[in-house]
Structure 1
Amino acid sequence: MSSEEHKFSGESIAHIARIIDHINLGIWEYNTDTGQTKWSVGFYTALGYSPGEIECSYTNFFDHLLYYHDRNVFLKSTYHPRMGESPVTQIRLLTKQNGYQWFESTTQKHDTGNGPVIYGVITNINKLKLQEVNAAEADFKLAEIGRIAKLGSWEIDVATMGLKFSDEMYEIFELHNRPNMSVEEAIGFFEPQYRSLITDSIDQAMKFCKPYDVELQFRTAKNNVIWVRSKGVPVLNNYGECITLRGVFQDIDSIKKKGIRLQSSINLLDDQNKRLQNFAYIVSHNLRSHAGNLKFMVNLFEDSQLKEDRTEIFSHIKTISESLSATMGYLDEIVRIQSEIAKERKLVNFQTIFNNVASALQTNILNSGAIINTNFADCPQIDYIPAYLESIFQNLLTNAIKYKHPDRKPVISINTRKVGNEIYLVFEDNGIGIDMKRYGDQVFGMYKTFHQNSDSKGIGLFMTRNQIEALGGSIQVDSTVNVGTKFTVKLV
């Protein structure tokens, strides 16, 4: 084989130059000593000009054709210190009709008898560059959408159980060092009560090709508990087998909590509507009953001629009047409870409230011989309306004393509990108890009494429940006849 095969004749080089001139490829030459510049026909053509239509000079190229922002990068590649290498860079040049377009520039330095000469080749890559820019912009927009929507994507290879995360997934996990994780490690981030749900969902998707869409609670690497939505879709092969499980993972904490608050507001509104209906029923029933009795007695009074009869009838009228006045007072109290919901809550100490109530009921406590045990260590304070809390203590403590068992001294236990963000107040006694089978659904009704006690008016527990529920709490009772009664109040 001849060692000259890699060399071209002068005619071959001229032919190659003609080919280059017609494929949108430009060649330039610049002598750094003399400043002499040469551009090939293809160079002019690449910029949309005819040879000689614009000045062929380094100054014209650098000051007018080269985009100003690309000058530093072009100079760095042009004056590359070592010879023989071919630095490649991307620059923008001003074309005749299409404005600035992207070109790839390759340069090489070579020493000649006339001094150092830099050779260069430019190739139009505008379409490719625009595709790259558009793709990068699309990727950026997609990433921004994912960031704004707090939405990430993931993929599990069923054969290897390898797990891949998008950048947004790591953001949701609050793992900024982007570690590789196994499926089991990822599941470990979910709250314990939801791990079986997500595990079963993934297993069902891979084994039986069942997609899933679930909402779960999740604990991030920074120990923040949030609500997330996880959705998985199986990718099947030609045999209908799941080979890949792909899905999205979204932080829906703010949306979920707003939904929970909205549902809580709806429930509260529903409770308030029920109480309003109950109130309207009470007003209608009680006032109509009093008015009917009063009218009947007035008619009897007018028809009676005997002084003794009139005196007796008048005493009944007086009793009805007093009862009506008391009823109006109770109804006014119900209205007042609803109107005071907006009152400012204050930090209240349970022990202080108990001491105030015990002091007011000191005579009752001493006369009954009651033993009262308190323990507020689990939750000593609460943000509450002080007057409401004092009223709750007074009504429940009064009831425990009033309904003591005749054969033993009353023993009353009062304590607080905190479960998560919920605060409970518990009253427990060893009194005569309530028959819950007979009266369980009437305990908190107005004018409902269950014992032959002359002091019972059936209003205390009704008021207590209204105060508690007005602030979003609840009260429940557990009782056994001749054993005792336990009231559990969820304050918040």
Structure 2
Amino acid sequence: MSFSDGHKFSGESIAHIARIIDHIHLGIWEYNTDTKQVKWSPGFYTALGYAPGEIECSYNYFFEHLLYYHDKDAFLKATYHPRQGGSPVAHIRLLTKQNGYQWFESTTQKHDAADGPVIYGVLTNINALKVSEIKIAENEFKSAEIGRIAKIGSWEIDAATMSLKFSKEMFDIFELDAQVKMSVEEAISFFEPQYRQVLTNAIENGIKYCKPYDVEVLFKTAKNNVIWVRSKGVPVLDNYGRCITLRGIFQDIDSIKKKGITLQSSINLLDDQNKRLQNFAYIVSHNLRSHAGNLKFMVNLFEESPLKDDRTEIFSHIKTISESLSATMGHLDEIVKIQSEISKERKVVDFETIFENVASALRTNIVAADAKITTDFTDCPQIDYIPAYLDSIFQNLLTNALKYKHPNRQPVINCFTQKVGNEIYLVFEDNGIGIDLKRHGEDLFGMYKTFHQNSDSKGIGLFITRNQVEALGGSIQVDSTVNVGTKFTVKLV
């Protein structure tokens, strides 16, 4: 054989190659489409765990007893439609003698023999590889499902190029329909402005100083939904301790975070209510004990005094104490009613209508004070509230503004509503004498707390207003400057 014939094998060499193929469990099959003759190599039998001749070598037996019925279409497509210039491949399951169905790869070729067209192929056991692929696919699917259910995505930043990679779940959280390529800066722009620098610093520290981070921040999706997310990053280091990749997770925690915020708000409200209840119990105990002690003392004096004039004077004191006790009981009854009325049905009430009713009842006071009153309820004209509470809030705030007007100027009172998201605010401001909040801020809403030398001051109005507002889950805050005026901001819902 010359050098130019080096690509050709002798008959002996071909036989040797056939023996090698049989020993490495590669099965060779051949099928003549005209004569219907089937041939299987010894390696074909060995690959299935059989000895040559142990099973019938036929087209029928192969299709009816060896080939898994779901894989027939794939095998036939590769067998009868071989591509030009290529070897069609089919992954099929065949029934082995000892191990049940296993995966095999069948590579097909076609040539024309003297007795008709012949299709032949090579059969290779790929069961271990296929099972591994299936397990990997299952694990990837489970991982994707866990990520979808838990709303967790993964991301990766290359420290050298600052290129950013997202998992599919990341795009879902971003609410992006297409998996677009995004820079780190573009990704950070999705966060609310107050948190962008937090993320920028965390990423820089992670890459430069290998510092992991775990933050909870507000994030705006591509569809303008603002949600709470958790972003966690961990540096991947090289052998020299330098960060080569920053890798992390990104989780939608909006429902969990909002439940936590609501729960904390409820705890704070409950704590505040408990404090007010303790304060109320103290007030009841102190005031009633004081009235009872004074009343008992006067009654003893009345009984011991022989003089008519003394007894008359003592009786007038008893009458004053009795009236004071009656007023105190009335105030306490009002406060108790606040809690009992929480269960009353809320109704849609009109701010303008309620205010006009209150202003009409206080018309004499308004005229006497020559007060200028402006209202603007256009931002939120109505609210779902207990009508009696809103009436009481307006009455107490308007009465206070008139009562504590500045002696040297015309009273100007502004009342308006504001709506911020789902929250409704009532703002009440005046140009009266104001309150020194540094001295009296902590006691401003206390019962029987007064801060001006005004004979009409009883220190009960603001206490009741605060209790009504907070009983329905709202809050009230005050801004005031002495001789400038006072502004009450009431968060109703």
Fold in common (TM above 0.5): yes
Q: 1:365 to 1:84 in 2, by over 3 A?
A: closer
Partners of 1:83 and 1:109 within 8 A in 2? no
What is the aligned partner in structure 1 of residue 327 from structure 2?
326
TM-score, length-scaled by structure 1: 0.94
Report the Cα offset of residue 437 of structure 1.
4.5
Report the Cα offset of residue 85 of structure 1.
4.3
> Pairwise mapping of residues 256-335 of structure 1 onto structure 2 (< 5 A)?
256-335=257-336
Counterpart CA distance in 2 for 1:236 and 1:427 is 59
What is the aligned partner in structure 1 of residue 176 from structure 2?
175
- Cα deviation, 1:239-277, whole Å, max 9, x if unaligned, reads 333222222211111111111111111111111111111
> Pairwise mapping of residues 3-152 of structure 1 onto structure 2 (< 5 A)?
3-80=4-81, 85-152=86-153
Give the match's secondary structure for 1:440: helix
Counterpart CA distance in 2 for 1:483 and 1:13 is 110
Counterpart CA distance in 1 for 2:54 and 2:84 is 32
- Cα deviation, 1:176-219, whole Å, max 9, x if unaligned, reads 21111111111111111111111111112222222211111111
What is the aligned partner in structure 2 of residue 377 from structure 1?
378
Partners of 1:84 and 1:109 within 8 A in 2? no
AA matched with 1:97: Q
Counterpart CA distance in 2 for 1:441 and 1:23 is 90
Give the match's secondary structure for 2:5: coil
Counterpart CA distance in 2 for 1:439 and 1:162 is 58
Q: 1:238 to 1:218 in 2, by over 3 A?
A: same
Counterpart CA distance in 2 for 1:476 and 1:107 is 83
> Pairwise mapping of residues 186-225 of structure 1 onto structure 2 (< 5 A)?
186-225=187-226
Give the match's secondary structure for 2:98: coil
> Quick check: 418-427 or 280-289, which moved more?
418-427
RMSD: 2.0
What is the aligned partner in structure 1 of residue 363 from structure 2?
362
Partners of 2:401 and 2:413 within 8 A in 1? yes
AA matched with 2:175: E
> Quick check: 306-315 or 63-72, which moved more?
306-315
Report the Cα offset of residue 14 of structure 1.
2.4
> Quick check: 345-354 or 174-183, which moved more?
345-354
> Quick check: 398-407 or 127-136, which moved more?
398-407
Report the Cα offset of residue 127 of structure 1.
0.6
Partners of 1:234 and 1:243 within 8 A in 2? yes
Give the match's secondary structure for 1:214: strand
Counterpart CA distance in 2 for 1:12 and 1:441 is 104
1:455 equivalent in alignment to 2:448: no
Partners of 2:82 and 2:108 within 8 A in 1? no
What is the aligned partner in structure 2 of residue 243 from structure 1?
244
Counterpart CA distance in 2 for 1:406 and 1:199 is 56
AA matched with 1:163: L
Report the Cα offset of residue 81 of structure 1.
5.7
Give the match's secondary structure for 2:194: helix
Counterpart CA distance in 2 for 1:82 and 1:402 is 98
Counterpart CA distance in 1 for 2:240 and 2:82 is 61
Report the Cα offset of residue 133 of structure 1.
0.8
Give the match's secondary structure for 2:81: coil
- Cα deviation, 1:95-135, whole Å, max 9, x if unaligned, reads 11111000000122222222222212211110111111111
Report the Cα offset of residue 392 of structure 1.
0.6
Counterpart CA distance in 2 for 1:85 and 1:208 is 53
AA matched with 2:171: Y
Give the number of equivalent residue pairs: 492
Give the match's secondary structure for 1:340: helix
- Cα deviation, 1:440-492, whole Å, max 9, x if unaligned, reads 33332212223343332221111111112222322233334444333232323
Partners of 1:84 and 1:110 within 8 A in 2? no
Q: 1:262 to 1:321 in 2, by over 3 A?
A: same
AA matched with 2:488: F
Report the Cα offset of residue 140 of structure 1.
1.4
Give the match's secondary structure for 1:374: strand
What is the aligned partner in structure 2 of residue 439 from structure 1?
440
- Cα deviation, 1:267-326, whole Å, max 9, x if unaligned, reads 111111111111111111111111111221222232233344333333333332222222
> Structure 1: where are the runs of 5+ without partners?
none
Counterpart CA distance in 2 for 1:433 and 1:265 is 32
Q: 1:21 to 1:424 in 2, by over 3 A?
A: same
Counterpart CA distance in 1 for 2:156 and 2:184 is 10
Counterpart CA distance in 2 for 1:477 and 1:354 is 20
What is the aligned partner in structure 2 of residue 476 from structure 1?
477
- Cα deviation, 1:339-361, whole Å, max 9, x if unaligned, reads 22333333332211111111221
What is the aligned partner in structure 2 of residue 411 from structure 1?
412
